[in-house]
Amino acid sequence: MAVENDFELHRDVGESTNLVFKKMKKNLLFVSVILLLSLATFSYKNSLDEGNLISSSKHNPTNQSGFSENQKYSGGNGKSQEQSRFFDFQPTSTTNQIVKHEYYTLSYDEKYEQAEWVAYELKQGYLKNNHLKRPRFIEDPKVETGSADWRNYKKTGYDKGHLCPAADMEFAINAYNDTFFTSNISPQLHVFNNGVWKRLEEKVRYWAGKYDGIYVVTGGVLEPSLKTIGKEKVSVPKYFYKILLDESQGKYRMIAFLVPNEKSDKPLYDFVVSVDSIEKMTGIDFFPKMDDATENSLEKSSDYKAWSFN
């Protein structure tokens, strides 16, 4: 009888143990299912976030030159903290040789051994005077056809005139040094480079500070039968142009200058012309991605009253 009781006891204990194990298995299975569902939900959410990020980056591109379709501003003068851009500010290239540096872009013309245009954004925050040491001019490694050697300018009576001024890029040593590529220079008489052209560059920096940043496109007017210098026959432009675009609260204003490569004491507004006239001279469409109505209205005007010359 005692043996049977012991047997029954062991059987009861065994059955209880089995029930416990079964419950534990069910619980473990339940927990496993919950964990798997949680992981699946987390992975799905991450994939959505990554998809949104990729989609966002595709719709908000920023190129090496600093031009972007969605720019952030630090406020001031009506510019919002995050100002939408609806078109690309890069001009057309007549040579199909566009070179992008970190803070400016250019279109190089091998025939004339210089850029037909240099384009960049001059932000208010870039306006610093860090008294950086001037490096030597070097050839631009990104120009596939090879930019002209600086020695072409030696003993010619012409300065190695910056298109994107070094003074516009003193906020960072790499930005400053990049302005000393020979793709960014053009032959300029010293009385021009250190005179009226310097005054215009200083006025551009003034406007960049006053209007919380502007876009700049500049270059020499390249045309057949120009005088050349050096072994590589670098052309000497008779005229240089500078085109400025400012945006505030979705409204644009534009101004263009055409300045002879010579000494002049005339006021800067005497050199204001329409963008259309420069496009006819150069064959360049300066704002091809701007909507036609806005572009036509701005480019035909030579009115400078919207810009402060004080």
State whether 71 and 220 are in the same domain: yes
Given this model, what pLDDT does residue 130 score?
92
Given this model, what pLDDT does residue 88 score?
75
CATH number at residue 190: 3.40.570.10
Given this model, what pLDDT does residue 39 score?
54
In the chain, the number of structural domains is 2
User: Which of the listed residues 59, 83, 103 is the one where a domain comes to its end?
Assistant: 59
State whether 71 and 52 are in the same domain: no
310/306 Cα distance (integer angstroms):
12
Write the DSSP string, 10-65: HHHHHHHHHHHHHHHHHHHHHHHHHHHHHHHHHHHHHHHHHHHHHHHHHHS-B-TT
State whether 27 and 144 are in the same domain: no
Q: Tens of pLDDT along the chain (310 residues)? A: 444 444 344 444 444 444 444 445 445 555 454 555 555 554 444 444 444 333 333 333 344 454 443 333 333 444 443 333 445 789 999 999 999 999 999 999 999 999 999 999 999 999 999 999 999 999 999 999 999 999 999 999 999 999 999 999 999 999 999 999 999 999 999 999 999 999 999 999 999 999 999 999 999 999 999 999 999 999 999 999 999 999 988 889 999 999 999 999 999 999 999 999 999 999 999 999 999 999 999 999 999 999 999 7
Given this model, what pLDDT does residue 250 score?
83
State whether 15 and 159 are in the same domain: no
70/90 Cα distance (integer angstroms):
14
39 C-beta neighbours (distance < 10 Å), count: 10
Domain assignment present for residue 306? The answer is: no
Whole-structure pTM value: 0.75
Q: Closest Cα partner for 114 from 202, 192, 230?
A: 230
The domain of 228 spans: 64-299
